[in-house]
Homo-oligomer: A and B are copies of this chain.
Amino acid sequence: MRTVMMPEMTWPEYAEALESNPVVFLPTGTLEQHGPHLPMGLDYLLPYAISREIAEEVGGVVAAPVTYGYKSMTRSAGGPFFPGSTGLDGNTLSCVIRDVIRELVRHGARRICVLDGNYENLWFLNEGIDLAMREVGDKGVRIMCLQHWEFLTEETLAQVFPDGYPGIELEHAAVLETSLMMNFHPELVRFDLVPDNAAAEAPCYDVWPPRREWVAPEGSLISAKGATPEKGALIAAQYRRDITAAIRREFYELG
């Protein structure tokens, strides 16, 4: 195979790839602010890059990324206060996922992995998958849905955060995402602009209209000063190992 990236394949190449009943990855993300130092396409760029690595491991195929996703929430991604955060209605996103999966199944794909990079997407992805499964019926389709950070191990976190892990709820445009971007897309990281902001403090609920004071002016929930390309490579390597293992288990071992 010349490439695992479906948008770069010709259709005969894809047809050939389908013969082995490969895992087809559907990277999902959105267009959203990621602080003053990271590009707004991060949430789909990372899943696209991570999917490529895993697909190369398992002989898979990576579909075009879904570039727009669910709305930014203030506590997890800064909310509507930052120009550029571009959210679909929940049902729109679920329909996109349903439609794309319906089509992948029509092509002959039976193993599909939705690999997400935008925290807020999850439930609308779940719903889209459920709607698709209901529609495609009993064709032996298996779908997996994951958000990459869920795979981070204690070991990785200990190495990435030698001073202690502040928790996933603060990791927007912070050390993890910045390190991963320094690994996959260093040309898109403006490390000189990483803010030194304190950790955001928000309560355990949401309000509408959202409160501006729940998020730092810079848009990152905690400083990314500790990010390095090496940490990014470390995380990417762990993903490559552990997501691959999960893929193999779910699609091949357990069947």
Interface size on A, residues (CB 8 A): 87
Please state if B67 and A7 are interface contacts (CB–CB under 8 Å). yes
Q: Hey, which chain B residues are within 8 Å of A129, CB to CB?
A: 208
Q: Closest residue of chain B to A38, judged by CB? A: B10
Q: How far is the CA of A99 from the CA of B103 in the complex (A)?
A: 22
Which residues on B sit within 8 Å (CB–CB) of A146?
204-206
State which of A77-85, A158-166, A228-236 sits at the interface with chain B: A77-85
In whole angstroms, what is the CA distance A66 to B66 when docked?
8
- Contacts of A1-32 to chain B: CB distance below 8 A: 6-12, 14-15, 18, 31
A-B contact pairs, 21 of them (CB 8 A): A6-B40, A7-B45, A8-B41, A9-B39, A10-B40, A11-B83, A18-B83, A31-B63, A41-B64, A63-B86, A64-B67, A64-B68, A86-B107, A89-B127, A90-B94, A91-B127, A92-B96, A123-B123, A143-B207, A145-B206, A146-B205
